[in-house]
Amino acid sequence: MTEKAILALHGGEPVRSKYLSYGKQLLDDADIEAVIQVLRSDFLTTGPVVERFESAIAEYTGAKYAVAFSNGTAALHAACFAAGIKAGDEVITTPMTFAASANCVLYMGGTPVFADIDPVTYNIDPKSVEMLITEKTKAIIPVDFTGQPADLDDFIQMARDKGIIVIEDAAHALGASYNGRKVGAVSDMTMFSFHPVKPITTGEGGVIATNNYKYFEKLQQFRTHGITRNPAMLIERHGPWYYEMQELGYNYRMTELQAALGLSQMNKLDKFIIRRRQIADLYNDAFRSIKQVTLPHQKKGNESGWHLYILRLKLEHLSAVRREIFEAFQAENIGVNVHYLPVYWHPYYKKLGYAKGLCPESEHLYETIITLPLFPAMTEGDVEDVISAVQKVISYYSKG
Kindly list the catalytic residues.
198
Q: Find how far residue 307's CA is from the centre of its chain.
A: 8
375 Cβ contact list (under 8 Å, min separation 6)? 22, 23, 24, 25, 26, 197, 276
Using alpha carbons, list the distances in angstroms from residue 296 to 34, 120, 182: 36, 8, 21
Angle at 191 between CA 186 and CA 196, to 5 degrees: 130
Nearest to 306 by CA among 265, 273, 270: 273
Using alpha carbons, list the distances in angstroms from residue 171 to 4, 5, 214, 250, 396: 41, 38, 23, 21, 35
- Three-state DSSP class for residue 169: strand
Rg (CA), the chain: 22
Nearest to 168 by CA among 202, 115, 208, 195: 208
Pairing of strands 111-114, 244-245: unpaired
Q: Which helix (H) or strand (E) holds 281?
A: helix 269-287
Residue 178: Cβ-neighbour burial (10 angstroms; 0-12, 13-18, 19+): buried
Beta bridge pairs of residue 69: 206
Q: Find how far residue 245's CA is from the centre of its chain.
A: 31
What are the backbone angles phi and psi of residue 18, rounded to the nearest 5°?
-115, 140
For helices 48-61 and 256-266, the axis angle rounded to 10 degrees is 30
Residue 203: Cβ-neighbour burial (10 angstroms; 0-12, 13-18, 19+): middle
- Three-state DSSP class for residue 257: helix
